[in-house]
């Protein structure tokens, strides 16, 4: 039987091309706006209006609930941190939209404290670093990386974006959820095309939504009867304690929402950030040499890639009440755009912030967010990236960018960035 992980599948090119992904979502940008954003940042920490408007870019609503509302753009590290640290004033519920069945159930990504905390605690233990370096590696990551790297050993060249970065996260997270084989790509393709901003007709979106429901409901039913160590089994065994209510098991619908969020986040952001880290090292061969000479420096390389180019550069919140932010009067219902990418290049915090430099002093960055909604899966993502790059460097000591291939860049949509390709010579 063919190994679906290593098989060629046209879905990879549909799902893991950052340019096509952005065009599909409707938020593709053609030009590099880094310098323009830096100029805005230098003028003020907070600006009135959508960042897209300020830059003269075509309009795009990341969340339908943002339509017709006043926007504010936050660009400095200090100002972004102030918004992240005040979830009571700046709510994450802006991302909530009714699903295809018109249900109002929130996912954990859309919740605010204290309900958010109650649901996050149900799954958080599975994402702590001891589990990331233990269960996740043993159950999913190690064998996936080994099989993919072995597949490349007979080749002279490869596009690591498609051959490594695209495959490891999606199979890691779907295996962890409890799915097997070709369900990984099938599930992600259906889920990507089932959400409000998927860029597909409503009837196609609904068809994909029902397929996702069918897959998850079947898995929940199977794990109720035969629990294992996977995430769905973990959620079935978990309890939720909302303040003022008795502790209770999670409902079927709540488990499904949790699985969807874990899947879309774990299978998407890790793919692009892994690619950004490889791109950064391969385009800075002197720093790649440092990592080769001292593998412990890979941690610095990953952290610097997160600062230099976070794959999810903007987040959004809505104001729950009238407030003031750096001299601006924010009204209840206004939308606040948090620029974590510009915050991560704030020159008041980092010298030469546009330069990728693994030797710079260690300071925390915002790539995984801050506060209540700091990325649940960040430890797993780091372990995936570290283990994959370690395996590649060990297997291919002469790996380098292919000089004859088209020059790759960091591109994609305004809210999701990644390399256009990572063409390498392996030998």
Question: Tokens 């950052």 map to which residue?
Answer: 18
Mean pLDDT, residues 342-348: 98
pLDDT for 63 = 79
> How far apart are alpha carbons 372 and 120 in whole angstroms?
10
Is 90 exceeded by the pLDDT of residue 321?
yes
Give the CATH number of the domain where residue 199 resides.
1.10.630.10
For the stretch 46-80, pLDDT in tens is 999 999 999 999 988 887 778 899 999 999 999 99
Q: Is 3 part of any domain? A: no
SS3 179: coil
Please choose, from the candidates 409, 42, 416, 8, the residue with its C-alpha nearest in 3D space to the C-alpha of residue 192: 416
Q: What is the mean pLDDT of the chain?
A: 89
Is 90 exceeded by the pLDDT of residue 281?
yes
> How far apart are alpha carbons 330 and 321 in whole angstroms?
8
Q: Please tell me the pTM assigned to this model.
A: 0.92
Quote the domain boundaries for residue 42.
10-425
Mean pLDDT, residues 25-41: 93
What are the Cα distances from residue 172, in Å, to 51, 181, 380? 35, 11, 9
Is 70 exceeded by the pLDDT of residue 4?
no
Q: How confident is the model at residue 181 (pLDDT cuts 50, 70, 90)?
A: low
| Residues 6 or more apart whose Cβ sits within 8 Å of residue 278 | 160, 164, 165, 389, 392, 419, 422
Token digits of residue 313: 């550069």
Q: How confident is the model at residue 242 (pLDDT cuts 50, 70, 90)?
A: confident
Q: How many domains does the chain have?
A: 1
For the stretch 202-240, pLDDT in tens is 788 888 888 888 889 999 999 999 999 999 999 999 999
Q: Is 2 part of any domain? A: no
Q: Is 223 part of any domain? A: yes
Mean pLDDT, residues 301-325: 96
Q: Is 82 part of any domain? A: yes
Q: Is 1 part of any domain? A: no
pLDDT for 2 = 45
Q: Is 390 part of any domain? A: yes
pLDDT for 103 = 41
């Amino acid at each position: 039987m063919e190994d679906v992980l290593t098989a060629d599948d046209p879905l990879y090119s549909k799902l893991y091309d950052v340019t096509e992904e952005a065009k599909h979502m409707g938020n593709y940008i053609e030009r590099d706006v880094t310098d323009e954003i830096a100029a805005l940042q230098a003028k003020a920490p907070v600006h009135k209006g959508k960042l897209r408007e300020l830059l003269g870019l075509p309009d795009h609503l990341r969340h339908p609930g943002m339509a017709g509302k006043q926007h504010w753009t936050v660009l400095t590290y200090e100002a972004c941190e102030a918004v992240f640290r005040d979830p009571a004033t700046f709510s994450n519920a802006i991302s909530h939209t009714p699903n295809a069945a018109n249900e109002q159930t929130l996912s954990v990504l859309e919740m605010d404290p204290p309900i958010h905390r109650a649901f996050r605690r149900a799954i958080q233990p599975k994402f702590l670093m001891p589990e990331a370096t233990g269960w996740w590696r043993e159950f999913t990551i190690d064998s996936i990386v080994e099989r993919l790297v072995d597949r490349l050993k007979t080749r002279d060249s490869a596009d690591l974006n498609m051959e490594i970065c695209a495959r490891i996260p999606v199979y890691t997270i779907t295996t962890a959820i409890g799915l097997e084989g070709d369900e990984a790509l099938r599930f992600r393709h259906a889920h990507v095309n089932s959400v409000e901003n998927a860029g597909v007709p409503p009837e196609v979106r609904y068809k994909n939504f029902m397929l996702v429901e069918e897959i998850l409901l079947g898995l929940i039913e199977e794990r109720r009867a035969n629990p294992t160590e996977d995430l769905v089994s973990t959620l079935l065994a978990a309890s939720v304690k909302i303040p003022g209510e008795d502790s209770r098991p999670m409902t079927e619908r709540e488990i499904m929402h949790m699985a969807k969020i874990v899947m879309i986040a774990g299978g998407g952001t890790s793919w692009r950030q892994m690619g950004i880290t490889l791109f950064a090292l391969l385009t800075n061969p002197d720093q790649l040499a440092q990592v080769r000479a001292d593998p412990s420096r890979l941690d610095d390389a990953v952290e610097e890639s997160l600062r230099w180019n976070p794959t999810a550069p903007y987040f959004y919140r809505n104001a729950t009440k009238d407030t003031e932010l750096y001299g601006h009067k924010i009204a209840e219902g206004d939308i606040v755009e948090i620029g974590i990418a510009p915050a991560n290049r704030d020159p008041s915090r980092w010298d030469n912030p546009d330069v990728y430099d693994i030797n710079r002093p260690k300071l925390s960055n915002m790539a995984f967010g801050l506060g209540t909604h700091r990325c649940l899966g960040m430890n797993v993502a780091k372990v995936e990236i570290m283990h994959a790059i370690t395996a590649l460097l060990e297997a291919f000591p002469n790996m380098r960018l292919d000089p004859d291939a088209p020059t790759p860049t960091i591109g994609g949509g305004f809210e999701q960035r990644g390399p256009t390709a990572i063409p390498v010579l392996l030998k």
